[in-house]
A and B are shown apart, each in its own frame.
Chain A
Amino acid sequence: MNHARQIAQQLAFTRREFLRNATGVALGSALLRPGAFAHAATPSSKRKVVVITFGGGARDQETFAPEGQENIPHLMRELIPQSAFFAQVVNRGILGHYVATASLATGVYETINNFASLPPESPTVFEYFRKDFRRPASDAWVVAPSNGFNRIGESSHRGFGPGSGARVILPKYLLSAATSGSADYGHLLRDSYETPLSAPELGGSTFELEQMERILKLSVADFRSHARTLSSPDELSVYIVRQLMRQLAPSLLWVTMHDIDIAHAGAYSLYIEGIRRTDRLCAELWKAIQSEPEYAGKTNLFILPDFGRDSDDDPGGNGFQHHRTGDALSRTTWMMALGPGVREGVVFDHRVETIDFVPTLGALMGFSPSFSPGKPIAELL
């Protein structure tokens, strides 16, 4: 067994022990065999899925390790007891946020330029979903943080591509347009923390302000006014997600959080603030899912980081600040699954990969992610 694999297993083990001690959850592999879940009665065609990427990457020591649990009170106390928790989710791909999120959304380790405005090369989960179920464009949406994510909804793959995937909303872009770059809103409008000094040009079709009024029934004035009450881009994203849920109730909704990535600026306190905010927003979205009639009782929520951050021990990195070394800590994360058919309060510590996520959604929802080499996670089927 190689060193990285050993470290990943150790991470999973310690996460499992922390969770068992802190929340009393059970160890799944000792209790269950694959296929033991009795799925709720919701037919695949009625099922809805919401995905939150716990964005920007966060390490165990600031989250699930004992000293980090104070930063994620909502995950620890409210969500984990209701979830199946996968403690060893390994990303073997490129650790840049856009390309890693694209890999999550395609089930293929994408190799596109992280900083260019390019679509994924393999079909996305949104394209599989819409094609197999003949769903309209209004049934799959992505809410994402920065210009670079504008192409994530649909791939450049022959047979899929333009018009066959998800619509993408960039709330910061909308706010920037709504305010003409006014300083009042400036603190929300930073494009990316990985390359804070420049933003990629928008490519593909762009969701514009007039569509916000028409599709989301949200006036520019109301949007601007509400933004005044928010402290971060991720709060703005959650606000837009809630509008989407109320107005369109899409069956497949993907939210990419990003505040945590302020860590790139090297200020530890701001990184911790980002984790605490993301923790709170995840719980708010789960409550929203349970309170919206279109979602309550038939929605699975998946929360997972795209990857972690560098360890303090790797001399090639600078601890929490970046995710550049490709060490085991930065590659090994976790996933939480909630909702109908999911066994609550169980931890699974065997290894799964981030590219297993789309095949798992395919198996749950009933579409065929034929170009993904990943495997469905048996414990969720």
Chain B
Amino acid sequence: MLPADLKPEQFSGYPPEARKLALDYLAVFQRLPLSFLPNLLREVIDYDYRFPAERKTLEKELETLRSLSAPELKEWFREFAGIQLSAKLERFDWINSPSQFVEQLSSHLWTTHQLDAFRKAATEYADRLHVAVQPDPPVLPRLGIAVIGQGVDTHEEPLFRKLRPQGAYFTGIQPDNGLQHLLDVVASRAKSAPLPYAHWYIDGGQALSHAQAITCVSYKNLEPARAALLTRIQAETTKAGAGPEALRTVMAQMRPADLGFDESGDRVLDHFQVKLLTEGSGTQIFSTSFAQWAAREALRRAQPLTLVVRFAPRQRQKPMNELLSPSHEPAELDPMGSLVDADMGAYYNWINQQRLPGSEKSLFLAWFENHKEAVAISPSMPRGTVSTSAATLPELLSWMA
């Protein structure tokens, strides 16, 4: 089936708000090429479980598409229209399973050597949209904080090598009560800009006590969900005919209740957490991968004003079949390896923060937990400089502002 043949009743399987949105924009959908539309429906079908920032972005995109004249629409989607699809893809139930369609589309693009053409089409579309839809600047300059090295006393390799050129490197930080100071800063910002899902704390281990206004995700808290997921994966992989594609389909269809989430919980956050575990690679087994991916997805999707990510030691690398088996034995940890992982993760947090609106005013702090080393990046911090002066974390944050 092609988009021009879409009918309202075909969206009956969508959640309530998504269905309403789809019907509002049905006429727009009918004008779009099949190589593009399922990517958009992937966002629409999850509308009920999206963060406010995502909803707003999607609504603006749909409104922009509706405003285009026929010649403009043709121009915008000329590259997409040139992508050749297979009859199998056209027959696929892309309305109800847009994510699975996109996965198959990706495979088709690789196989038919059309990936570069698709990348070009997608890039041009994003550029046009960026011009047409100006993003709202954040109400506060964004603040990202990465805390790395939990459990490490000494280390030999220099830290923050990728971040140092972007800001000032401090070697005299007074670490006392550092974590509490940082969480107090998040709480204070949450109080001054009380927007939903705008202030986050992600912990790769056990979360510390924090203000209620802060959205919190922790690896420890998701332990039951991770165990449930791994049990489910084991069951799926032993089924006859099981393969990577079938397993990905099963994981893509998982809902919070499948992993033991309480149905009375925050459904938006619960869906987010399920996706961290079912879509992330390594997030089920390594806490450092979990913390980095959770930060990336929180920044990309929720566009928080404040994000603190505290990395924790991951388990030592074990054989995958052992890692995938829930065990009551305490996992042996690898603090030094985790420090290296987290150092890179902090760099990725900064990169992902800089992709958001208002990046020219954004602030970023990376700190070696309970130690004297930190990097501060902000418009007021001279790049590539080093300071050996003694300073507390609150002082450092005040200099960054």
Contact = CB atoms under 8 A, between A and B. Distances in A.
A195 to B, nearest CB: 4
Interface of A is mostly: loop
Interface stretch (A10-18, A222-230, A316-324): A316-324
Given A264-B282, A266-B288, A318 B296 contact: yes
A180 to B, nearest CB: 13
A269 B247 CA distance: 28
A322 B281 contact: yes
B317 interface: yes
B314 interface: yes
Nearest to A112: B111
Given A94-B110, A268-B341, A190 B281 contact: no
Given A198-B242, A312-B348, A190 B115 contact: no
B293 interface: yes
A267 B161 contact: no
A137 interface: no
A197 B317 contact: no
B281 A198 contact: no
B322 interface: yes
B344 to A, nearest CB: 4
A90 B111 CA distance: 17
B292 A266 contact: yes
Contact of B116 (A262, A265, A326): A326
Interface in A24-79: 67
A111 interface: yes
A146 B292 CA distance: 28
A268 B320 contact: no
A356 B363 CA distance: 48
Nearest to B115: A326
A96 B245 CA distance: 14
A266 B340 CA distance: 12
Contact of B340 (A94, A96, A111, A269): A269
B230 to A, nearest CB: 9
Contacts of B338: 269
Contact of B243 (A4, A196, A198, A270): A198
Interface stretch (A124-132, A181-189, A280-288): A181-189
A161 to B, nearest CB: 22
Contacts of B280: 266
A367 interface: no
A302 interface: no
B324 interface: yes
A311 B219 CA distance: 27
A159 interface: no
Contact of B319 (A187, A198, A312): A187
Q: Which of A116, A190, A195, A197 has the most CB of B within 10 A?
A: A197
Interface residues of B, number: 48
A81 interface: no
A200 B243 contact: yes
B341 A186 contact: no
Contacts of A321: 281-282
Contact of B233 (A92, A197, A269): A197
B244 interface: yes
Contacts of A200: 243
A115 interface: yes
B113 A92 contact: yes
A93 B339 CA distance: 36
A109 interface: yes
Contacts of B324: 197
Contacts of B320: 190, 196-197
B319 A189 contact: yes
Contacts of A198: 237, 242-244, 247
Interface string A193-222: 001111010000000000000000000000
B286 interface: yes
Given A264-B282, A266-B292, A267-B314, A94 B111 contact: yes
Contacts of A95: 110
B111 A111 contact: yes
Interface string B214-236: 00000000000000000001000
Interface in B94-132: 110-113, 115-116, 119
Nearest to B297: A318
Contacts of B233: 197
B289 interface: yes
B337 A270 contact: yes
A267 B342 CA distance: 9
A318 B348 contact: yes
Contacts of B289: 265-267
Nearest to A324: B106
Given A269-B338, A270-B337, A312-B348, A187 B318 contact: yes
Contact of B286 (A183, A195, A266, A318): A266
A197 B250 CA distance: 13
A326 B112 CA distance: 14
Nearest to B161: A67
A238 interface: no
A186 B321 contact: yes
A183 B322 contact: yes
Contacts of B321: 186, 189-190
Interface in B333-372: 334, 336-341, 343-345, 347-348, 351, 355
Contacts of B345: 268
B47 to A, nearest CB: 22
Nearest to B318: A187
Contacts of B314: 267
A255 interface: no
A321 B112 CA distance: 25
A258 to B, nearest CB: 13
Interface in B237-295: 237, 242-245, 247, 280-283, 285-286, 288-289, 292-293
Given A266-B281, A269-B336, 4 more contacts: A115-B245, A198-B242, A264-B282, A326-B110
Interface of B: 110-113, 115-116, 119, 161, 233, 237, 242-245, 247, 280-283, 285-286, 288-289, 292-293, 296, 314, 317-322, 324, 334, 336-341, 343-345, 347-348, 351, 355
20 contacts: A4-B116, A67-B161, A92-B113, A94-B110, A111-B110, A183-B319, A186-B319, A188-B319, A189-B319, A190-B320, A197-B237, A262-B317, A266-B286, A267-B314, A267-B317, A268-B343, A268-B345, A315-B355, A320-B344, A327-B119
Interface of A: 4, 67, 92-96, 109, 111, 115-116, 183, 186-190, 195-198, 200, 262, 264-270, 272, 312-313, 315, 318-322, 325-327
User: What are the nearest 8 A-B pairs in CB distance?
Assistant: A266-B289, A186-B319, A265-B282, A269-B340, A266-B282, A268-B344, A269-B337, A195-B244
